[in-house]
Amino acid sequence: MGAQILDGKRIRDEILAELKPRIAVLAGARRSPGLAVVLVGHDPASEIYVRNKVKACEELGIYSEKLTPPEDTATADLLGILEGLNQRPEIDGILVQTPLPHSIDSRRVLNSVRPDKDVDGFHPYNVGNLVAGVPGPRACTPAGIMELLRRHEIPVAGRHAVVVGRSDTVGKPMAMMLLHQNATVTICHSRTRDLAAECRRADILVAAIGRPALIRGGFIKPGATVIDVGMNRLDTPAAVESVYGAGSPKLAALAAKGSVLVGDVHPLEVAERAGSYTPVPGGVGPLTIAMLMANTVEAAEGHLRLAVHGMAC
């Protein structure tokens, strides 16, 4: 019996379907949730991500605005834009698409978003709430992975989880969320000695290091659950053949599209070793936007509660 493929698209559709009645309640009580997306410059990958986020809002009935200041926007000017969004009551969530241009102080910008409108879960206040186990917006990709595990009934408590990658956006919050569900967690990174040996200890292996097909079959404990967060583009025949082998049908896809998407886990070898795994594409990616929508709805519900409480007082 082959490995189970963990279908992120199906879980995304479940999450979005569950949000629709909550959005209808908000619209009836006050107004639809509102999300502002700020995209600085013209990074092609970021433009695709933003387009998908705006499309998801339209399909759900969430009001969305896209702000596109130019590449040469100064940090102070961007901070002014965000302060304006912070003050607007019809905007429940603010998302600043990263990466930002190198000339912009990214930390100052992300920290300027009001914590109750920080639907990415990146503000230090919300990171602190995550560490303390206090409710609040959570980083979308790891939150989506936790939903994937829960809805596929993959046990977490008592399992050994290994997270490969220590980024503020995925690796660190992922480790904390797994810990809160009573996993024993190991975090690996570029300085980890004998990465393969550490990974082989994992019942749940999360790869989020940004290196194409780095995690080979020999890194995977037989029967483990493997979550591949990587989104890497192979754009030469040699790169495609190094992963998929000479004569692979993926070469035709490369010729047609100009690149082939591959995760951080070797796509052929994971299927031979894992008990279950997420494909790339179609695994973790769809869940990130679903959790952004969920965070936006939760922010709007929180703002409605505050408004009602304020009127009651």
Which residues are known to be catalytic? 53, 97, 120
Distance CA 232, CA 263 (A): 6
DSSP codes of every residue in 206-271:
EE-S--TT-B-GGGS-TT-EEEE---EEE-SHHHHHHHH-TT-THHHHHHHHS-EEE-SB-HHHHH
Helix axes of 140-151 and 171-180: crossing angle, nearest 10 degrees:
40
Structure-block tokens of residue 143: 């939150």
- Those residues with Cβ within 8 angstroms of residue 299's Cβ, 6 or more apart along the chain or in another chain: 33, 92, 93, 116, 117, 119, 137
> What angle (nearest 5°) sits at the alpha carbon of residue 113, between those of residues 110 and 117?
125
Q: Coil, helix or strand for 287?
A: helix
Distance CA 2, CA 241 (A): 24
DSSP codes of every residue in 2-48:
PPEE--HHHHHHHHHHHHHHHHHHHHHHT---EEEEE--S--HHHHH
Structure-block tokens of residue 25: 């309640």
Distance CA 42, CA 69 (A): 10
